[in-house]
Structure 1
Amino acid sequence: MSNDEPRPWLRCYRCWSQELEVQVHYEGIHRIDPETGERAEVVDELQEAVVQCLDCMHDQPHLAFVGGRVDRIEDRWERMVAGTPWVASCTVSVDAEDVETCSGPEAGDALSYAAFGEHGTREFFTHVRFHKHEEDTIVVHLLVELYARSAEEAGEVLMEAARGALAITSLAEESRPPAATGGGGGH
């Protein structure tokens, strides 16, 4: 992509703001040259980055920080920027051992992660309505908001993300949040 080509994906998928920032976390282990005191060799390094909207504070899972610049993630950006929100009422049956905790303040995130992995805590807006224990299985009942271009795509995204048996009881298209209707680069 050339530098002067429009980047319709370089915006918040939720409110369409172009006021984004990248938060980069870096950890590294480096050997030191005993003669110069400078870094001699990288033993291990880890870089994590999250792109976030400064206006609505939502993470942008359709964007990644690669090679010093923000770029789109091909299999997500069109669905999240060009799509509309869909709300699903569903259950996911997961192995009880995959649930970190099912009580206390962290329970919602733990159950969402058990049901949908990273999608459940980063890409989808999830609300755990309740859960129930059935022997070695936990059935998590959720309301999930996700972005997709059609009902079929929304169902496929949920199926691919589910970390257990998924049952969708309802799926309805919502309208985009009001800030998104302004066109260009509005907030």
Structure 2
Amino acid sequence: MEGSAPDFLETAASWLRCYRCWSQNLEVQVHYEGVLRVDPESGEAAEPVEEVQEAVVQCLDCLHDQPHLNLAFYEEDGRRVSRIEAVEDRWERMVVGRPWVASCTVTVDSEQIESCSGPEAADSLAFGAFGDHGTREFFTHVRFHKHDGDQIVIHMLVELYARSEQEAADVLSDAARGPLSLTSLAEESRPPAAAASPEDPH
């Protein structure tokens, strides 16, 4: 992270908000798949044999996912408690930062791409280029791709949030899963903020 956070960023109210419009009108969508063991005497199906759980925090005002927030689970007094937490290496950059749009290419090994045609191609290419950042944090528009031997060159427009041009370039470079070439990187205007109370620091 660059610099230190202003005082108001030390409170949960600062990061527990939409990074785009700063609304605090959020919800969590939890997708759960699991196999539960059934107790033959009581009929209870409580002990998980295996489970997969994915949670996505979404803003109800602008309907965007919030990749700077994560749903964590704890055991307190014998019961399971869930709580929203900030992703430490991401939230300040996204909440305080501004949108930047990059025109870029990433060159990856073809084996990193599950599919480069059909309805899943765009997500597959975005993930191949930037991993989870490409499908969860960045707004990634795959313009086209080219096969070059055993490699695929992916041409994209990418929107991300950062506090400076250098930070935006560094975030892209760190996320890229292959050689990155930046053609342009331009700052955009922030989306309109949601209605806020007079006490809101934003």
Same fold at TM > 0.5:
yes
Unaligned stretches of 5+ residues in structure 1: none
Q: Classify 1:153/1:46 alpha carbon distance in 2 versus 1 (closer, same or farther; 3 Å).
A: same
Alignment partner, residue 193 of structure 2: 180
In the TM superposition, 1:1-187 aligns within 5 A as: 5-39=11-45, 41-67=47-73, 68-177=82-191, 179-180=192-193
Identity, in percent, stands at 69
Aligned counterparts of 1:36 and 1:106: Cα–Cα separation in 2: 44
Normalised TM-score (structure 2): 0.82
Number of equivalences: 180
Partner SS state of residue 133, structure 2? helix
Runs of 4+ in 1 over 6 A off after TM superposition: none
Alpha carbon RMSD of aligned pairs, Å?
Answer: 1.8
1:136 alignment partner AA: D
Aligned counterparts of 2:124 and 2:41: Cα–Cα separation in 1: 49
Aligned counterparts of 2:124 and 2:194: Cα–Cα separation in 1: 34
Unaligned stretches of 5+ residues in structure 2: 1-10, 74-81
C-alpha displacement at 1:182, in angstroms?
6.2
C-alpha displacement at 1:106, in angstroms?
2.5
**TM-superposition CA deviations, 1:53-99 (whole Å, max 9, x none):** 11221110000111212111111100000000111111100111222
Normalised TM-score (structure 1): 0.88
Partner SS state of residue 75, structure 1? coil
Q: Classify 1:42/1:87 alpha carbon distance in 2 versus 1 (closer, same or farther; 3 Å).
A: same
